[in-house]
């Protein structure tokens, strides 16, 4: 499974509709593909290129720029340990070392059972809970060695399934409305709004000008 399923394609087409130019949907569709397949497959990139009207090389060029888009398979849980400055000060590097030992993989590696991929992350804006960890972009912290181990256990045992969906699912809340007002209609409204505003500005300037004369 790599091209979008019919349901996913329907969602993809709805996303494209949100933008004045199709290409803008590239990254949202990459996320969608990851939601379906866990990572961004070659076939998905080709289909996205067709959907948004660019070349596959351009989809890859875009996708490969971003840390969250994975063109190689990753584990069910992407465990990101932040070691940036705020976490560094609170033991982020030591936590990462522990995570490497606990999971048995170096950053970038995936456990043999395909459950976990470990990453060293840049600041994830959870600095008041340093050292902080993200699992599939859900926040945890502050974590020590023990709390990290129990987090791994809970993930493995499925205790956190309600909180942490498998890798790729970013937002479980989908947009419920399409575009309510076509852009062309809005542009027309703005044009007349601008004219009205200019008219008001002129009237105001005249009134002030008249006042000035009286002085």
- Return the residues of window 23-82 that contact another protein according to CB under 8 A: 23-28, 30-31, 42, 45-46, 52, 54-69
Q: Which of residues 92-121 bind another protein (CB under 8 A)?
A: none
Out of 74, 118, 126, 152, the only residue in the binding site for another protein (CB under 8 A) is: 126
CB atoms within 10 A of CB 29: 28
> Looking at 177, 211, 212, 213, which residue binds another protein (CB under 8 A)?
177
Among 50, 153, 161, 197, binds another protein (CB under 8 A): 197
Using the rule CB under 8 A, which residue among 159, 183, 195, 205 binds another protein? Answer: 183
Segment (H or E) for 116 = strand 116-121
Count the helix, strand and coil residues of the chain and give each as a percent rounded to the nearest 5.
50, 10, 40
Give me the least distance between CB of 209 and another protein, in Å please: 18
200 near another protein, judged by CB under 8 A: yes
- Contact pick of 6, 112, 158, 187 for another protein (by CB under 8 A): 187
Q: Does 207 bind another protein (CB under 8 A)?
A: no
23, 17, 36, 111: CA torsion to nearest 10: 40
**CA-CA distance, 28 to 32, in Å (whole number)?**
6
| Rounded distance between C-alpha atoms, residue 74 and residue 86, angstroms | 27
């Amino acid at each position: 499974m790599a091209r979008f399923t019919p349901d996913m394609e329907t969602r993809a087409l709805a996303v494209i509709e949100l933008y004045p130019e199709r290409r803008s949907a590239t990254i949202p569709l990459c996320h969608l593909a990851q939601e379906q397949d866990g990572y961004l497959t070659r076939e998905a990139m080709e289909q996205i290129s067709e959907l948004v009207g660019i070349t596959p090389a351009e989809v890859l060029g875009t996708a490969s720029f971003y840390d969250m888009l994975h063109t190689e398979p990753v584990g069910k849980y992407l465990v990101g340990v932040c070691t940036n400055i705020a976490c560094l000060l609170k033991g982020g590097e030591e936590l990462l070392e522990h995570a490497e030992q606990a999971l048995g993989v170096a950053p970038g590696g995936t456990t043999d059972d395909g459950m976990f991929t470990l990453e060293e992350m840049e600041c994830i804006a959870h600095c008041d809970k340093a050292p902080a960890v993200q699992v599939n972009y859900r926040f945890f912290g502050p974590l020590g060695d023990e709390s990290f181990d129990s987090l791994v256990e809970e993930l493995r045992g499925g205790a956190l399934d309600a909180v942490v969906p498998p890798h790729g699912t970013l937002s479980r809340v989908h947009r419920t409305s399409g575009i309510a007002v076509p852009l062309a209609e809005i542009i027309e409204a703005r044009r007349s709004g601008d004219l009205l505003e200019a008219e008001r500005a002129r009237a105001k300037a005249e009134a002030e000008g008249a006042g000035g004369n009286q002085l």
